[in-house]
Amino acid sequence: MTLAERVARAVDAAPVIDLHTHLFAPQFGAMNLWGVDELLTYHYLVAETLRAEPKLAPEAFFARDKAAQADLVWDALFVRRSPLSEAAAGVATVLAAFGLDPAARDLREARAFFAARRVEQHVEDVLRLAGVSALAMTNDPTDPEERALWEAGLAPDPRFHAALRLDRLIAAQDLKAELTRWIARMRPRYLAISVNEVSAPPRAVLDACREHDLPFAMMIGVRRAVNPRLGVAGDGVSAVDLTPLERLAAENPDVRFLVTTLARENTHTLCVVARKFANVLPFGCWWFMNNPSLIEETTMMRLEMLGPTFVPQHSDARVLDQLIYKWRHSRRSIASALTRRYGAMPVPPTDAQIERDARALLGGIAGEWLKA
């Protein structure tokens, strides 16, 4: 076997712990999104459809029901054009993984397939096909639908870890009390926030991280609603100054920071910050970075500057079935970068060393930080 084949085999076999998703355990009922209509109305594909069909006003698109929206996306991006974007290619990968025709003229076959699926079995099949052993959800207690489920005593599938998202909670009247309450109820593996510029979180957040030994995840460089007409698809990106992150890591050496950046330019500066501060763990290729070319480039850069001491990917999946494509595609890019770095070693690695490194990168390091 070639080195590339040995590395691909080890990376494909390594169980994934997915550090950041928007998925919900099946116990969350309708919040657990799956199936072809959810796949096709993923906000990445909505933005791409509205771009491909500029005569279609966003308001007219959103006025249609989900099935009609999915039909529009399918026709625009899969029938009248080739599914060349990563989000479109991903849907094709998922359909093919279930033995469905990704070149079908319409969605009848796919809809019939998913309609016949039982959700419990579907969850098992998707996690198996994606090679995901555990994942972190994004849990926001300010969301009325989610809050009601937690208050009703919901107990998620133990493979679906909670992550307490603070974007809106941080504005709470008594943040300390809210953090105490929701950490006790959700038992989150980390606290998380997305920001444009880096700034120190309220003291109560870092105090909670210390008290409960929880990492703090900062997702940096998003500019919300640059085009509000697109709704959840309307956010943009900024390259930002990471100097405040250096100060935060230096002033809080006993807090672990999970960090991902949205701008390609910040990938390099984050690697340098991580070289200076062992309590900063770069993770994933977030959102507009989650494309094969950038996953390989980012993983190369991180391996060259950090060695195998980071988490190369998270899926950010919003629809359960996306785990299949997001991890199949990411494993290819990660394996390619790993192969190139192994190729630079004077003595090639043994199969055991390749397996050890692949297991650490795909799940081991994430598992240590999540204590999962």
**321 lies in the site for Zn ion, by CB under 5 A:** no
Cβ-based nearer residue to ligand HDL, 75 or 143: 143
Q: Shortest distance, CB of residue 352 to ligand HDL, whole angstroms?
A: 35
**316 lies in the site for Zn ion, by CB under 5 A:** yes
**322 lies in the site for ligand HDL, by CB under 6 A:** no
- 161, 256, 318, 341: which one contacts ligand HDL (CB under 6 A)? 318
Whether 194 and 286 have beta carbons less than 8 Å apart is answered as: no
How many residues bind ligand HDL (CB under 6 A)? The answer is 7
Using DSSP's 3-state secondary structure scheme, residue 333 falls into helix
Cβ-based nearer residue to Zn ion, 37 or 316: 316
Report, in this order, helix, strand and coil percent for the chain, each rounded to 5: 55, 10, 35
Cβ-based nearer residue to Zn ion, 21 or 336: 21
Stretch that binds Zn ion, among 124-132, 294-302, 315-323, 333-341 (CB under 5 A): 315-323
Residues 245-274 that bind Zn ion (CB under 5 A): none
Q: For residue 332, give both structure tokens.
A: 């290819």
Cβ-based nearer residue to ligand HDL, 235 or 296: 235
Residues 209-228 that bind ligand HDL (CB under 6 A): 219
**235 lies in the site for Zn ion, by CB under 5 A:** no
* Binding site partner of 232, from Zn ion, ligand HDL, none, Cβ cut-off 5-8 A by kind: ligand HDL
Q: What's the residue count for the chain?
A: 372
- CA 196 → CA 8, 18, 151, 237, 261, distances in Å? 36, 23, 31, 8, 10
Cβ-based nearer residue to ligand HDL, 218 or 360: 218
DSSP letter at 348? Answer: P
Of residues 208, 214, 260, 257, the one with CA closest to residue 237:
260
**329 lies in the site for ligand HDL, by CB under 6 A:** no
Strand arrangement, sheet containing 160-161: 16-18, 132-136, 160-161
Residue at shortest CB range from Zn ion: 316
Residues contacting 81, CB < 8 A, separation 6+: 52
- 49, 194, 266, 339: which one contacts ligand HDL (CB under 6 A)? 194
If you write DSSP's letter for every residue of 91-160 in order, what string do you get? HHHHHHHTT--TT-SSSHHHHHHHHT--HHHHHHHHHHHHTEEEEE--B-TTSHHHHHHHHTT----TTE
Amino acid identity, position 290: N
**326 lies in the site for ligand HDL, by CB under 6 A:** no
- 316, 321, 355, 357: which one contacts ligand HDL (CB under 6 A)? 316
- Per DSSP, what are the bridge partners of residue 135? 18, 160
Q: Shortest distance, CB of residue 283 to ligand HDL, whole angstroms?
A: 12
- The widest CA-to-CA distance across the chain, in whole angstroms, is 61
Residues 57-96 that bind ligand HDL (CB under 6 A): none
- CA 313 → CA 1, 17, 48, 237, 278, distances in Å? 26, 10, 23, 19, 19
- CA 348 → CA 3, 4, 187, 200, 335, distances in Å? 8, 12, 43, 44, 15
- 225, 226, 232, 345: which one contacts ligand HDL (CB under 6 A)? 232
Cβ-based nearer residue to Zn ion, 232 or 272: 232
**6 lies in the site for ligand HDL, by CB under 6 A:** no
Whether 220 and 241 have beta carbons less than 8 Å apart is answered as: no
Q: Shortest distance, CB of residue 126 to ligand HDL, whole angstroms?
A: 18
**331 lies in the site for ligand HDL, by CB under 6 A:** no
**18 lies in the site for Zn ion, by CB under 5 A:** no
Contact residues: ligand HDL, CB under 6 A? 22, 194, 219, 232, 287, 316, 318
Contact residues: Zn ion, CB under 5 A? 316
